[in-house]
Amino acid sequence: MPAAPSRRPGAASPDARRPAANPWAVELRELGRRAGSMQELDRTVPAPDGWRLELVGVPEGAPVHLRLRLESVMEGVLVSGDVEVPVEGQCARCLEPVHDSLQLDVQELYAYPGSTTEATSEEDEVRLVEGERIDLEPMVRDTVVLALPLSPTCTDDCAGLCSGCGQRIDDLPADHSHELVDPRWAGLAGRLTTGAVTDRPDDPEEN
Ligand SMILES: [Zn+2]
Ligand SMILES: [Zn+2]
């Protein structure tokens, strides 16, 4: 009979067995459940993938700065404060890169499971305290994505691209314009007219 493997189930280090800590999770042990207790949170966490619209978004891994206050209330934990994120995109008018940042106010109640708030809210309308911790990512993601501009612009008054040559109008001299008929085409237009006259077959009736 072979010897039992010497590795015991409890022998692995706790760190190796635990999944990588979620930087968006906040443990509530310190805050506790006594209504009125408060905790400040100042944390910079990497943005996950997918915070974007078609033309603009938060680059994956970009620093998201959270300055939040957690407040224990009867129904759960009230989170409020502000969030600052860098955004990168493309000008909707001239297609130049856009670099900007958003600073957004947030306020959200995370309800305790079994609280009146949870019982009286639709399932998808309430965020919950899950096992003595809250996950800030879905709340911050919703706030940021809602605030992203549908049509970002490189400057407030970007004039876009010249319809004649496709260059940025803001980079062109003020008197930039295009003749209605380009000189190169004017010559060709003349030849075509002449050709039409010359090539017209002689009227056989006149021979
Ligand atoms: Zn632009
Ligand atoms: Zn032009």
Tens digit of each residue's pLDDT, the chain (207 residues): 555 455 454 444 444 455 568 899 999 998 988 888 999 999 999 999 999 999 999 999 999 999 999 999 999 999 999 999 999 999 999 999 999 999 999 999 999 998 888 888 887 788 999 989 999 999 999 999 999 999 999 999 999 999 999 999 999 999 999 876 656 666 665 555 554 444 444 555 544
For 111-118, which contacts have Cβ atoms below 8 Å and span 24 or more sequence positions?
111/75, 111/76, 112/33, 112/75, 112/76, 115/74, 115/75, 115/76, 116/75, 117/75, 117/76
Does 193 lie in the same domain as 91?
no
Does 66 lie in the same domain as 134?
yes
Q: At 6, phi and psi to the nearest 5?
A: -75, -20
C-beta separation of 76 from 110 below 8 A: yes
Does 193 lie in the same domain as 105?
no
Does 123 lie in the same domain as 25?
yes
Cα of 196 from ligand 2 centre, angstroms: 32
In terms of residue numbers, what domain contains 125?
Answer: 17-147
Does 136 lie in the same domain as 39?
yes
Does 141 lie in the same domain as 67?
yes
In a domain, 207, yes or no: no
- Of 4, 7, 16, 25, nearest to 133 by C-alpha is 25
C-alpha 109/C-alpha 47 separation (Å) is: 22
Backbone dihedral region of 83: left (phi > 0), alpha (psi from -120 to 50 degrees) or beta?
beta
Cα of 167 from ligand 2 centre, angstroms: 6
Tokens standing for residue 28? 């509530």
In a domain, 131, yes or no: yes
Whole-number pLDDT of residue 90: 96
In a domain, 124, yes or no: yes
Does 168 lie in the same domain as 118?
no
Whole-number pLDDT of residue 33: 85
Domain count, the chain: 2
Does 132 lie in the same domain as 165?
no
In a domain, 172, yes or no: yes
Q: Which ligand is nearest to the CA of 98?
A: 1
Cα of 180 from ligand 2 centre, angstroms: 12
